[in-house]
């Protein structure tokens, strides 16, 4: 590995500009060497903003450049698989934005390609929604603070239905694939606490069947649901009731409830507030989270540390990302076919 790690950026989207590029530039011995966006004009704007010396005409040109050591993929999910496969084939380390891919099949292709190149580092940007409480919640559960976990409730809502909003890329199956709202993010987060689901039953609803697509200049059918209800059997024996919605106005949240045989924990996403109550308590009270029991954003630091052989990838590995892509696709299958779907899918 050369002293300087040269990074090529494919798709400098909002998260890449907000986090990945600035944070990578802060790390000694790391250079953002090139960028390739959807258009040359867009690439040049990003290059000028961040002082990136080169612009490539396409992602294929970038990943095959011998002057690039690692590729950061900040595109929408539709390009995550082809760019990852191309980058790994060209001998580049890969950090890709979440969600991992369009579907579970693509995710498994990415995992297989990464396993074929164990000398290369692969990472998916983790869901950060519970970072502030992750170590604390995991310790409380491991210590038996609420006894044996019986059930988990998750509620996430963006508010009242907006019928007039144009087609966002997250609503566009071509760009977002099987991914639905923030479903994959939150499933990844709760999986850190309680492990994966082993079976799901789901119902979904598209509340606005047509929206205006500014890119095409026409109305088009919407396939990505606005409301999702999931009943899941967890591998640890508990039951999970999971709810994501862009139609549930005035619903509190996002929040996660963990119900155990001896107590309850509640995590409120707004403000990252953790509360709890145990048998004998009259009410739930706030649980202070010490500084050493929070997890700070260190995605880029972990990526470079792994390339330099100093640490493994923990958040998030390709295998963990395949697990949430399996869950995502299982939700679609269950809703479409009206049946229980078992995990993993393959």
pLDDT tens figures, 74-123:
999 999 999 999 999 999 999 999 999 999 999 999 999 999 999 999 99
Architecture of domain 134-295: 2-Layer Sandwich (3.30)
User: Looking at residues 256-265, what average pLDDT do you find?
Assistant: 99
Instruction: Return the beta strands (E) in 214-324 as ranges.
Output: 218-221, 227-234, 239-245, 255-260, 263-268, 273-278, 285-286
| Per-residue pLDDT at 166 exceeds 90 | yes
203: preceding bond cis by omega (within 30 degrees):
no
| Other beta carbons within 10 Å of 169 | 14
Assess whether pLDDT exceeds 70 at residue 1: no
Name beta bridge partners: 153: 241, 257
Query: pLDDT digits over 296-345, tens only?
Result: 999 999 999 999 999 999 999 999 999 999 999 999 999 999 999 999 99
Q: Which of 87, 66, 76, 65 is nearest to 37 (CA)?
A: 76
235: pLDDT strictly greater than 80: yes
Contact assessment for residue 150 and residue 261, using Cβ atoms and an 8 Å cutoff: yes
pLDDT of residue 3: 85
Give the pTM.
0.95
> How far apart are alpha carbons 313 and 110 in whole angstroms?
16
* pLDDT > 90? residue 30: yes
Closest CA to 35 of 67, 17, 4, 11: 11
Confidence of residue 2 (pLDDT cuts 50, 70, 90): low
**Residue 275: what pLDDT?**
99
Give 140-154 pLDDT, tens digit per residue: 999 999 999 999 999
CATH superfamily to which 5-126+298-315 belongs:
NAD(P)-binding Rossmann-like Domain (3.40.50.720)
Rounded to the nearest 10 degrees, the angle between the axes of helix 80-89 and helix 104-116 is 10
Averaged confidence pLDDT in the chain: 97
Domain-wise residue ranges, the chain: 5-126+298-315, 134-295
């Amino acid at each position: 590995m050369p002293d300087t790690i040269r990074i090529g950026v494919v798709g400098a989207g909002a998260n890449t500009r907000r986090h990945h590029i600035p944070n990578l530039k802060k790390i000694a011995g790391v250079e953002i060497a090139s960028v390739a966006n959807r258009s040359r004009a867009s690439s040049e704007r990003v290059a000028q903003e961040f002082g990136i010396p080169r612009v490539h005409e396409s992602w294929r040109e970038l990943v095959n450049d011998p002057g690039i050591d690692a590729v950061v993929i900040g595109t929408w999910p539709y390009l995550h698989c082809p760019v990852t496969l191309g980058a790994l084939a060209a001998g580049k380390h890969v950090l890709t934005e979440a969600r991992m891919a369009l579907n579970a099949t693509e995710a498994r292709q990415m995992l297989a390609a990464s396993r074929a190149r164990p000398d290369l580092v692969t990472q998916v940007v983790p869901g950060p929604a519970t970072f502030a409480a992750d170590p604390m919640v995991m310790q409380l559960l491991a210590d038996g603070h609420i006894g044996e976990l019986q059930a988990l409730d998750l509620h996430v809502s963006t508010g009242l239905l907006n019928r007039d909003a144009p087609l966002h890329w997250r609503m566009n199956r071509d760009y977002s694939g099987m991914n639905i709202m923030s479903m994959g993010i939150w499933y990844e987060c709760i999986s850190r606490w309680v492990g994966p689901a082993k079976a799901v039953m789901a119902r979904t609803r598209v509340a606005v069947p047509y929206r205006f697509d500014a890119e095409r200049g026409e109305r088009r059918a919407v396939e990505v649901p606005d409301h999702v209800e999931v009943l899941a059997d967890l591998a640890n024996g508990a039951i999970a009731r999971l709810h994501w919605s862009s139609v549930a106005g005035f619903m509190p949240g996002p929040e996660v409830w963990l119900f155990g045989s001896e107590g309850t924990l509640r995590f409120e996403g707004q403000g990252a507030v953790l509360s709890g109550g145990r048998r004998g308590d009259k009410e739930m009270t706030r649980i202070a989270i010490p500084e050493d029991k929070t997890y700070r954003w260190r995605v880029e630091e972990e990526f470079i540390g792994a390339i330099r052989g100093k640490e493994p990838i923990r958040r998030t590995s390709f295998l963990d990302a395949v697990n949430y892509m399996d869950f995502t696709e299982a939700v679609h299958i269950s809703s479409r076919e009206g049946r229980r779907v078992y995990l993993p899918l393959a």
